[in-house]
Amino acid sequence: MSTVIAKKYVKALFESFNDKELVTVRAALKELNSAFGMTKFTTILSTPDISKEDKKKLILSILTSDNKKLVNFITLLIEYGRLLFLPDIYKELEFQIALKNSCYEGKIYTNKEINKEQLENLQKSFGKKFGAEIKFKIEKSNYKGVKIEIDDLGVETSFSLDRLKAQMTEHILKAI
């Protein structure tokens, strides 16, 4: 249900803001989204003992933008008790902007070093395959091989050394 609500608010954002303003809104919502990682912050927002006006002051103190339409948007969320949907709204906004611009972010999980040239080749290859601009972030992990995820496109691919060894062993055993 939260995604349905988030989609409606993001649709309203796209209708109310031009492309340049959406960049500001995205940055502001990113700041707010990071605050939701703190349990104390979410507890304050979900507590009915704290007035809507105090919640509004707290949220606006975090915002660096003074865009009137954005302030009105936040006020509307507070008024209708939708403030806790902000992380979902931010996630949906990110997705819709990526969709509009055909620019997606992905993650590469590996325990090996990937140099800049290899990273650029991967970005170009995946970009060509999906007709979009792909940017990867490298995350070190204990994964023996390479695992690539692009969540917004629903893509996950991997090359595992353990899996390769198992498949080679199986193939050799079948040949005997």
Give tens-digit pLDDT for 71-86. Answer: 899 999 989 989 889 9
Is 2-98 a CATH 1.10.520.20 domain? Answer: yes
Q: Rounded to an integer, what distance in angstroms lies between the CA atom of residue 7 and that of residue 20?
A: 20
pTM over cut 0.75: no
* Amino acid in position 96: Q
- Given a contact cutoff of 8 angstroms between Cβ atoms, the answer to whether 149 and 107 are in contact is yes
Residue type, 55: K
Chain centroid to Cα 87, Å, comes to: 10
CB 88 within 8 A of CB 2: yes
88 CB-contact burial (10 Å; exposed 0-12 / middle 13-18 / buried 19+): buried
Q: What ranges do the domains of the chain cover?
A: 2-98, 103-175
Query: pLDDT digit string (tens) for 111-139?
Result: 888 888 988 988 998 889 888 889 999 88
In percent, how much of the chain has pLDDT > 70? 98
Q: Compute the half-sphere exposure of residue 112: CA atoms within 13 Å on the CB side of its CA.
A: 11
